Structure 1
Amino acid sequence: MRYFLEVAYDGTRFHGWQVQPNALSVQEVLNDCLRKVFRLPDVETIGSGRTDTGVHATQQWVHVDLPAVFAPEEIQYKLNRILPPDIAVGQVFPVGPEAHTRFDAVSRTYEYRITLEKNPFLVRHTYYLSRIPDVAQMNKAAQVLLEQEDFTTFSKVKGDTQHYRCTITYASWRQEGHLLIFTIQANRFLRGMVRLVVGTLLDVGKGKLTVPGFREAVERQNRALASGAAPAEGLFLHRVEYPPGYFDQQRLLFEAALAER
């Protein structure tokens, strides 16, 4: 039976979400715990998105097939008992056999967090800037993103992406005390895209790039025009959303699949 797991993690010590050879990943640790808890010889999990080395998630959805029916709270409790402190399972939903965390998602939201005050307790989860950038200019530049469709400029050179089109529906900076937070929402993101966007927007805020210059960089679809990527520690996969009523519908499909067994 298939379940969706809501997973949060501090990505500091992990080489990203996805399993890879010779490097510890969040998915590897989660898979290992699933095998132990449910006594499985092997397990396959699919995440709603990838995060790179050092990037965090407050909401990553994962689907997994288990050999029996379990109460959602039982899955959550058993996994949280053995997962390390930097990974936690939140909500658990039973879903239909065709449900897919990645393909069924309709939007993803990332947050990038900057601290304007040197704080040793935020060092793993924010990027420290000693001077506040021009937030108004960065927000003007951020609105350019909503007018564009092709984001080749903010794609990794050696990526395996088939196309570079994304629909960005929200992009804005806000200040909360000593924190400066950038929120961006889209139907999909290219690998490494958000950190490249943030790095280039920060150049606008520092006066190194004008808003028209930012627009030109995006429109010319030239990777060389992007600034350096912002550091990984400030980035969070913040929210992944599904169609309205999705989990209610999936519960009915789960019950129908259970009745056929």
Structure 2
Amino acid sequence: MGRKNKRRRYRLTLEYDGTNFSGWQKQMDARTVQGDVLKGAVRVFGEVPMDLQGCGRTDAGVHALEYVAHLEVVADIGPHEVARKLNQTLPKDIAVKSVEAAGLRFHARHNCIARSYIYQLRTEKSAFGKRYDWWVQAELDLPAMQHAGSLMTGMHDFAAFAEKKELKKSTKVLIHKIEVFTEKEILKIRVVGSHFLWHMVRRMVGIMVEVGCHRLTKENIQNILEGHSDVLPAHHTAPGAGLFFEKAFYDSEGLAEFLKE
């Protein structure tokens, strides 16, 4: 007699091009990453009870380098085979980088202690950049941008960056690190935080660019964080195309090592 299938939970690491998605979270009337992965899982496992949860929401157009999700399903398939079969059935703009066996207590979002994003922008036009970076048509003061980032590092109330519906809950966020650096002709801004509000990273980037263009000052940022500024971060939201979910962290040691780099 064959072995009876039981509930299994897999930890998935995904890479996706978010250009043609309305974000991660499943929606009834839009294409989403969660929706497409669930459809792929149905083709792999059949119509069985399953649950797919991600480590956080990503906005429409936002990409991911190492996005973590967990898939719970009644099955008896090894992780390597799950990865192979999912990659065969998923669309070309989603790739499964790895699949690991996880305990039933592992939760991609609840167990995640920090997340990092990278935002890419250019000051020179590129024919290939539209999907993956923001073309800022100005000279940027990078030291000023880095200093602006340092002002937003630490525990702050980011209510000014939040949507109205988020104000009912705590808007305090711990920002572990913000760095500004260049790789070839691309300027990158890395933001590492405990979690993020809706559009928060894109609004932080937009404010930093305004500082880099000398249209805002460090005093403006301090006033925004203290809640008495007429500058609205929502008016400076950077485009979604330049934003990449970089990494999810599940242990303090791994986070500490990453922050040292």
User: TM-score scaled by structure 1?
Assistant: 0.89
Report the equivalent of 2:258: none
**Counterpart secondary structure, 1:3:** strand
Cα gap change, 1:123/1:43 in structure 2, threshold over 3 Å: closer, same or farther?
same
Aligned mates of 2:48, 2:226 — CA distance in 1: 50
Q: Are the aligned partners of 2:116 and 2:247 in contact in 1 as well (CA < 8 Å)?
A: yes
Cα gap change, 1:148/1:241 in structure 2, threshold over 3 Å: closer, same or farther?
closer
Match of 2:241 among 233, 236, 255: 233
Cα gap change, 1:83/1:221 in structure 2, threshold over 3 Å: closer, same or farther?
farther
Alignment RMSD: 1.8
Q: Are the aligned partners of 1:154 and 1:223 in contact in 2 as well (CA < 8 Å)?
A: no
Report the equivalent of 1:74: 81
Report the equivalent of 1:210: 217
Note the C-alpha offset of 1:177: 2.3
Alignment size in residue pairs = 246
Note the C-alpha offset of 1:160: 6.8
**Counterpart secondary structure, 1:67:** strand
- Letter of the structure 2 residue corresponding to residue 20 of structure 1: Q
Aligned mates of 1:172, 1:223 — CA distance in 2: 26
Determine whether 1:60 maps to 2:100.
no
Cα gap change, 1:126/1:84 in structure 2, threshold over 3 Å: closer, same or farther?
same
Determine whether 1:164 maps to 2:171.
yes
User: TM-score scaled by structure 2?
Assistant: 0.89
**Bigger shift: 10-19 or 138-147?**
138-147
Aligned mates of 2:13, 2:83 — CA distance in 1: 9
Greater than 6 Å deviation, 4+ residue runs: none
Match of 2:195 among 188, 209, 215: 188
Match of 1:17 among 9, 19, 24: 24
Note the C-alpha offset of 1:63: 0.6
Q: Are the aligned partners of 1:35 and 1:42 in contact in 2 as well (CA < 8 Å)?
A: no
Q: Deviations over 1:14-35 (max 9, x none)?
A: 1110011211111100000001
**Counterpart secondary structure, 1:159:** helix
Higher strand share: 2
Aligned mates of 1:83, 1:97 — CA distance in 2: 24
Q: Deviations over 1:81-117 (max 9, x none)?
A: 1111100111111111111000101110011000222
Aligned mates of 1:239, 1:161 — CA distance in 2: 28
Report the equivalent of 1:119: 126
- Letter of the structure 1 residue corresponding to residue 251 of structure 2: P
- Letter of the structure 2 residue corresponding to residue 118 of structure 1: K
Determine whether 1:87 maps to 2:102.
no
Q: Are the aligned partners of 2:48 and 2:74 in contact in 1 as well (CA < 8 Å)?
A: no
Match of 1:174 among 169, 181, 201: 181
- Letter of the structure 2 residue corresponding to residue 232 of structure 1: G
Aligned mates of 2:74, 2:110 — CA distance in 1: 23
Note the C-alpha offset of 1:119: 1.3
Report the equivalent of 2:148: 141
Q: Are the aligned partners of 1:195 and 1:231 in contact in 2 as well (CA < 8 Å)?
A: yes
Q: Deviations over 1:144-171 (max 9, x none)?
A: 1124421111112333762101111101
Cα gap change, 1:223/1:208 in structure 2, threshold over 3 Å: closer, same or farther?
closer
Aligned mates of 2:123, 2:19 — CA distance in 1: 20
Aligned mates of 2:229, 2:35 — CA distance in 1: 35
Q: Any residues of structure 2 matched to 1:95-110 within 5 Å, and which?
A: 95-110=102-117
- Letter of the structure 2 residue corresponding to residue 234 of structure 1: G
Aligned mates of 1:62, 1:187 — CA distance in 2: 17
**Counterpart secondary structure, 1:153:** helix
**Counterpart secondary structure, 2:75:** coil
Note the C-alpha offset of 1:244: 5.8
Aligned mates of 2:181, 2:34 — CA distance in 1: 32
Cα gap change, 1:161/1:42 in structure 2, threshold over 3 Å: closer, same or farther?
farther
Aligned mates of 2:180, 2:101 — CA distance in 1: 36
Note the C-alpha offset of 1:204: 0.6
Q: What is the aligned-residue identity percentage?
A: 32
